[in-house]
Amino acid sequence: MAEPASRPLPSGVRVEHGAGSFTLRREAPCRRPLYYRLDFGRLEWSDDLSDFVVDGERPVPDPGLLLTLIQGGSPAPDGSPLDGVRRLTVGTQLRVTRDGISLTRRATPPIARPTGLLDAVTAALPGSGRYAIAYSGGLGSAFLAATAVAAGHRPVLVHADLGWDAGSPLPDIPGLAVERVRVDPDELLGHHGNLDGLTPPVPDVDVPQRVGRILAAHVGLPLVDGGLLEDLVSVRLPDLSIGLRGRRLLSCEPFHIAGTLRTLAQARELLTKAIVYVPERSRPRGEQGATPTDVVVPPSPNIVSAVPGITDTGTSVLESTHRGTMALWKEHLDFLGPVLARATAGAEERGAIGQFSPALDPGVLAAVARLAPGRIGRLRHGTFQNHLPLREPLSRLGVTGFRRTAPGTWLRRVTAVHLHRQRRAIAAEWERGSALADLGLIDVHAVRALLRDGRSLADNALPVLRILSIDRWLRGVA
């Protein structure tokens, strides 16, 4: 058999042609999916889902999938809205030979030339040096800017000013200028996405893409996004080897939030639990932050708590879908291993702001896979310090003051601002009917009550926006 010719696709999939064989293989995650369908010795594949639609017929939406998206979840790893059509997942290989079609899985980090993280990220930047960085002022974008400076690049740092942070300081990167672009929340969220598409335009993915298009159009340059780097170059405290220095845990966050734990055994036990709190009954009366006598794990939140206005029918549908989807995701991410799992989950959950994302580059993934946990995080002065490889280049440049917010904070905030401004118009729109209500999934009156209550609306802003976006998609109206 002749040596196969190999070429990568923009969707991150590798295609190989050989004598009597054809192979599709996804080695690394990518925000752009690739779909396939198998049928009696025939393999069809495309990165455009509409290529699989017969006579332009739009598929009937699955209620469980719609509610999963409203909840903020994702479809199954290989799921699609079309019967018989699947997404090609990371670690999956489709091979066509004279003997038939085989589908196999092999989770291995991308093969790349051994290199350090800085060199790998530098190689993943646009080679021309003419590009812009979506600059939030957070650790990921500041690290990208510092890496570019070290490589001799001079990209433009472009920051989306969404109104509330106008004029607030951003970390100063020596030699680089920041351009602020005013983005009106109403303009940003007033677009309803592609209402003719085969999948609903979910705001979590759609809105960041709009921000990216606005920033790229402003500077007229390719845009690089560092949003997933913090997810990727990260370690959990339980993953660190505490060894002989384990007693540091007794004064380390999160163990001194409500007092200092008395024994190392309590601290070690706490490392195995994801969420902890100290009940009020464990504190002596009149004392704040006293040493707790016991530590408990609260019950998991109700899986439908993030879907405001859900009906009993919707609850039943979502619970069933949630259990199945989460089981598939857990199996898939466990199969991938920690580095590929973090990159895959991050790419699935959050939309791309830039055209380039170094965190998904095979060379960067390979470099991160070689980092030992102790190289990524450590205990020092009673504090768990994470993301060390990202912080070190910034320290060398003397860069401080980067922003520390949870992923998606900006989207939740801009959504709350938009919905508060537009709630009367939205309430009037819902008076004319709701497709989700017609399906028996959402109570119209509960959603309208949320729109009248400013505080409740702010607390549920993103789920409400998902409801509105998906409802408009179902009705096909702008």
List, for residues 86-136, the tens digit of each pLDDT value. 999 998 999 888 888 888 988 665 555 667 899 999 999 987 779 999 999
**β-strand pairing of 132-134 with 100-105:** unpaired
**β-strand pairing of 223-224 with 132-134:** parallel
CA distance to 45, 260, 281, 288, 300, per residue, from 294 (Å): 56, 12, 10, 15, 19
Q: List beta partners, residue 96.
A: 22, 101
Sign of the Cα pseudo-torsion (304, 307, 312, 315, in order) = negative
* Spatial CA neighbour of 87 closest among 11, 12, 34: 34
Quickly name the fold that domain 117-233+350-397 has: Rossmann fold (3.40.50)
pLDDT at 6 over 60: no
* Spatial CA neighbour of 178 closest among 158, 148, 151, 194: 158
Higher pLDDT, 169 or 371: 371
**β-strand pairing of 13-18 with 5-8:** antiparallel
The single residue listed with the structure tokens 């085969």 is 198
Higher pLDDT, 338 or 302: 338
pLDDT at 299 over 50: no
Which run of H or E residues covers position 145? helix 139-150
Instruction: Give the Cα separation of 384 and 254 in Å (integer).
Output: 9
* Spatial CA neighbour of 199 closest among 35, 409, 431, 355: 35
Write out the two tokens for 436. Answer: 């989700």
Asked if the bond preceding 254 is cis, omega within 30° of 0, the reply is: yes
Q: What is the pLDDT of residue 192?
A: 66
Q: Which of 237-241, 396-400, 420-424 has the lowest mean pLDDT?
A: 237-241
Residue 200's Cα: distance from chain center in Å? 17
C-alpha neighbours within 13 Å on the C-beta side of residue 319: 10
Instruction: Give the Cα separation of 379 and 122 in Å (integer).
Output: 29
pLDDT tens per residue across span 312-361: 999 999 999 999 999 999 999 999 988 999 999 988 888 778 788 999 98
Instruction: Please compute the mean of the pLDDT values over residues 364-384 and round it to a whole number.
Output: 86
Residue 444, classed as helix, strand or coil, is helix
* Residue 207 CB neighbours (<10 A): 26
* Residue 326 CB neighbours (<10 A): 14
Tell me the domain boundaries of the chain: 5-105, 117-233+350-397, 409-475
Instruction: Please compute the mean of the pLDDT values over residues 144-156 and round it to a whole number.
Output: 93
Higher pLDDT, 19 or 147: 147
Question: Mean pLDDT across the chain, nearest whole number?
Answer: 81
Instruction: Please compute the mean of the pLDDT values over residues 236-261 and round it to a whole number.
Output: 63
- Is pTM beyond 0.85? Reply is no
DSSP H helices in 160-202:
185-190
Write out the two tokens for 438. Answer: 């017609």
Instruction: Please compute the mean of the pLDDT values over residues 380-397 and round it to a whole number.
Output: 86
